[in-house]
Amino acid sequence: MKVLANDGIAQTGVLAMEDGGFEVITTKVAQEQLIPYINENEIVALLVRSATQVRKDIIDNCPTLKLIGRGGVGMDNIDVAYAKEKGLHVINTPAASSESVAELVFAHLFGGVRFLYDSNRNMPLDGDTKFKALKKAYAGGIELRGKVLGVIGFGRIGQATAKIALGIGMKVIYFDPFLEESTIKVTFYDGQQLSFALESISKEEVLKASDFITIHVPAQKEYVIGKKEFGLMKDGVAIVNAARGGVLDEVALIDALESNKVAFAALDVFESEPIPEIKILMHPQISLTPHIGAATKEAQGRIGSELASQIITLLK
C-alpha cells in the first residue's frame, strides 16, 4: 500500500511506515496534478501539512484513497466532515507540535520586549555609523517576569505556552469557552513539578488585564481580535498570533500599532498567507516568521511517528 506525504514527513515517520509494510512517496505533487497522481499510483493515504488542499474534488475522484492525514493541529485545508461522510479516515497530530509553537511564541515575546525584531533590521544598516543612537533607541526594554500573559484559547498549545510563562514568573490568565478550569503542571529538568490551578475568565477581562496576549484558537469565520477587542486592551499591550491567519484583524492591528495602543505584535500566520500584506511585512513594530510554529526537528519527528502509528493501526 502506498502513502503520499505530499508536504513532506520526517524520516522517523517514513521508516515506521515502511516497517509497517507501506511504501512512502515524498514526491511533491502540484495541487492540480494530485487527482491523476493518486489514481495512477493507487495511493491509499494522503498526508499533508498546511500547503496542500484536500477538498471534495479529491475525495470524490480518488477511489483508492482511504485516509487523509494532517501533520499538525488545524485541518482547515481539508474538507473533514465530507471526507468522513464518504467513509475516509481523517487524522491529525494535535499533541506533537504544542511545545514547538509555545517556544516560538516566547521567542517573539523575548525579542519583542528587547526590540530585537527592529534592532536586527537596523544594526546591519547603521550599526557602524549610528551605534550610540541605536543603543539609546533600544535601551527602554522591559522584563517578562512579573507581567500578565493573557491566553485566548486554552487547548494543548495554549497550555504549553502557559507552562513557559509560569516557569519564567509570569501570571497567566485565560479565556476558553470550552474549558472552565485547568491544572497546569510545570515539570523541571530534575523531575520536580509544580501545579497551578487556573480558571477561565471572560475574554473581556483577559483583554483588559493582560500585558501580553497570545492567541491559540482554530480557524474562525469571524475575527477573535478586532477593532472592538483592541479598544479594551491596556495601552502598550503586545499581541502574538501563532494560531491561524484570519483570527486577528490585521487592518485593526495596524491602526492599534499606529496609535500606540499596541507596543508591538508578532505574527507567524497571516490573513493573506502565503502572500502577506506589504504593510504587515514592512511595519517596524511587527516581529515576523513565515508560519514555522511546528517547524522544529523534534516536532516533525513526533508528527511523523504519530502519523505512522495511526496509519498502521487504521489501515493494516
Asked whether 22 and 4 are in contact (CB, 8 A), the reply is no
Catalytic residue among 89, 103, 114, 273: 273
Phi first, then psi: what are they for 238, rounded to 5°? -125, 150
Does the active-site annotation cover 291?
yes
Asked whether 12 and 71 are in contact (CB, 8 A), the reply is no
Catalytic residue among 70, 108, 283, 291: 291
Catalytic residue among 49, 244, 283, 302: 244
Handedness of CA 155, 158, 163, 166 (dihedral sign): negative
Q: Which CB contacts under 8 angstroms, 24+ apart, belong to 59-64?
A: 59/83, 59/86, 59/88, 60/86, 61/35, 62/35, 62/38, 63/39, 64/38, 64/39
Residues in Cβ contact with 257 at an 8 Å cutoff, skipping those fewer than 6 apart: 264, 265, 283, 285, 286
* Strand order through the sheet with 2-5: 23-25, 2-5, 43-48, 67-70, 89-92
Does the active-site annotation cover 121?
no
Backbone torsion region of residue 169, taken as left when φ is above 0, otherwise alpha when ψ lies between -120 and 50, otherwise beta: left
Does the active-site annotation cover 216?
no
User: Looking at the annotation, which residues are catalytic?
Assistant: 244, 273, 291
